[in-house]
Amino acid sequence: MTHVSIRSSVMNEMQQVAEEQNKPLAPLVDDLQLLDSGLDSLCFAIIVARLEDSLGVDPFSAAAAEDAPFPVTLGDFISFYENAAK
């Protein structure tokens, strides 16, 4: 999968989940802090589960196992997936 489509998959899931969970979503720019996105941890849990289904990777579980840092900004979040999908 290309970086473009991973980026759009991530953005799509964020918009979809925000809508389902009735959360106001901040504009999706790369330096957006995830904590300020308007999404709570339940939203991120759902996004991560759905991305695992569609992209076949779960970089969070891998990072937790290796004690690696979690992403802070949306840009980090997207590259987290891009790197995992390599």
Instruction: Tell me which residues touch other proteins (CB under 8 A).
Output: 20-21, 41-42, 44-46, 48-50, 53, 58, 60-61, 63-64
CB contact at 8 A, 39 and 18: yes
Work out how close the CB of 17 gets to other proteins at its nearest, in angstroms, rounded to a whole number: 9
Work out how close the CB of 23 gets to other proteins at its nearest, in angstroms, rounded to a whole number: 9
What HEC string does 42-67 produce? Answer: HHHHHHHHHHHHHHCCCHHHHHHHHC
Nearer to other proteins, 4 or 66 (CB): 66
